[in-house]
């Protein structure tokens, strides 16, 4: 394989993590996690981190890099990823990126200008959270990350709450920081400074794709496994820590539902079913995001297809893609 930068993407529970590990072992590569929740220490079960034994055999980056009480932005991700790429290249190793956080993938492939702009996918995800978890929870999150804006925005003002959280998620900065300069122009995407930089990326992108029915079945099975593996105990331990969970960590799928269970708002069975429902919704949003990306080489995975066969097919696909690229460069 001539390609030294491979990105493996797919919806949650698609098997991309296993493939990344197997491929890294074959190539002698290091792995960069492209996941907004795996960055948190001690949030292991609910984020489906690779097992510790796997991390002893392959070097991973951007896993366990911040405390659950801290926030993490797209800019922080790009900065950390840039450092990781430099380190891996310094060791003359191939790089494998793997993940399903679509905004991070988008930033990695095309780049982002920092600033208070608009992103339809983020807004859609925030609206879905408002519908599923309640607008009050979003306003509480805003109060923690930007108390100045939260003090001005009414708790029932859906549009402005979503807008403020959108800016914070994109930039890692409160919307109030930008408002002195931009004032009312922040409400209009036509005046935004934030934009996607449509640059040429140098990643070979492999996408794992399963039927929707199988994806849903795998998601449901994973949620059951998380509960059986001790997710309730993990969340209980996190809530006992001296510093409270950040809004991002607290609202993560799996953690939000178990927190509600532990606070007596719902039963464990209902919390588990809601986890399944929200994870399936996340997979749907991921599929929508991935349709906006270009140059993905999709690998359709058969039901119960062995990991060894998926690895072999991926190796052949990368070989074919590399050959096509070499041929095109000589024309």
Give pLDDT, residue 180.
Answer: 44
- How many residues does the structure list for the chain? 331
111, 196 Cβ separation under 8 angstroms: yes
- Cα 31 to Cα 34: distance, rounded to the nearest angstrom: 9
pLDDT, mean over the chain = 87
Residue 250 falls inside a structural domain: no
Structural domain of 161: 120-191
- Cα 74 to Cα 78: distance, rounded to the nearest angstrom: 6
Q: Between the ranges 96-105, 135-144, 259-268, where is the mean pLDDT highest?
A: 259-268
Of the three residues 164, 191, 218, the one that is the final residue of a domain is: 191
DSSP codes of every residue in 36-55 = SSTTBTT--TTTTPPPHHHH
What's the rounded mean pLDDT across residues 125-150? Answer: 89
Q: Is residue 162 located within the same domain as residue 57?
A: no
- Cα 244 to Cα 255: distance, rounded to the nearest angstrom: 13
What strands, in cross-sheet order, belong to the sheet with 95-99? 60-61, 30-33, 95-99, 5-9, 204-209, 296-300
Give pLDDT, residue 181.
Answer: 41
Supply φ then ψ for residue 294, to 5 degrees.
-110, 160
Residue 61 falls inside a structural domain: yes
CATH number of the domain enclosing 100: 3.40.50.300
239, 245 Cβ separation under 8 angstroms: yes
Q: Is residue 185 located within the same domain as residue 283?
A: no
Residue 252 falls inside a structural domain: no
* Burial readout 89-123 (b: 16 or more C-beta within 10 A, e: otherwise): eeeebbbbbbbbbbbbbbbbbbebeebbbbbeebb
pTM of the prediction? 0.76
Q: Is residue 230 located within the same domain as residue 98?
A: yes
3-59 pLDDT, tens digit each: 689 999 999 999 999 999 999 999 999 999 999 999 999 999 999 999 999 999 999
Helix (H) or strand (E) holding 205: strand 204-209
**What's the total number of domains in the chain?**
2
189, 117 Cβ separation under 8 angstroms: yes
The burial of 305, by beta-carbon neighbours within 10 Å (0-12 exposed, 13-18 middle, 19 or more buried), is given as middle
Name every residue whose Cβ is closer than 8 Å to that of residue 249 and which is 6 or more positions away in sequence: 37, 40, 43, 68, 69, 238, 255
């Amino acid at each position: 394989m001539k390609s030294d930068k491979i990105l493996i993407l797919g919806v949650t529970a698609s098997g991309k993590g296993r493939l990344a590990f197997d491929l890294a072992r074959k190539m002698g590569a290091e792995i960069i996690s492209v996941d907004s929740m795996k960055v948190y220490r001690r949030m292991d079960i609910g984020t489906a981190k690779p097992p510790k034994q796997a991390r002893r055999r392959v070097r991973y980056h951007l896993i366990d890099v911040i405390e659950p009480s801290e926030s993490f932005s797209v800019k922080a991700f790009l900065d950390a990823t840039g450092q990781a790429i430099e380190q891996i290249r310094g060791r003359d190793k191939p790089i494998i990126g793997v993940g399903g956080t679509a905004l991070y993938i988008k930033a990695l492939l095309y780049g982002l200008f920092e600033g208070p702009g608009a992103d339809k996918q983020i807004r859609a995800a925030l609206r879905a959270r408002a519908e599923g978890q309640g607008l009050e929870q979003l306003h509480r999150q805003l109060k923690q990350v930007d108390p100045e804006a939260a003090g001005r925005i009414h708790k029932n003002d859906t549009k402005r709450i979503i807008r403020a959280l959108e800016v914070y998620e994109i930039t890692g900065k409160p919307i109030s920081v930008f408002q002195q300069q931009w004032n009312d122009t922040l409400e209009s995407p036509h005046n935004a400074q934030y934009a996607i930089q449509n640059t040429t990326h140098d990643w070979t992108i492999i996408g794992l794709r399963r039927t929707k029915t199988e994806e849903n079945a795998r998601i449901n099975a994973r949620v059951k496994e998380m509960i059986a593996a001790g997710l309730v105990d993990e969340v209980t331990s996190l809530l006992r820590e001296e510093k409270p969970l950040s809004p991002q960590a607290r609202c993560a799928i799996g953690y939000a539902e178990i927190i509600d269970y532990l606070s007596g708002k719902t039963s464990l069975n209902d919390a588990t079913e809601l986890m399944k429902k929200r994870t399936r919704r996340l997979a749907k949003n991921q599929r929508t995001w991935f349709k906006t990306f270009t140059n993905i080489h999709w690998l359709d995975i058969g039901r119960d297809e062995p990991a060894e066969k998926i690895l072999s097919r991926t190796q052949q696909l990368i070989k074919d893609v590399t050959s096509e690229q070499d041929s095109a460069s000589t024309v």
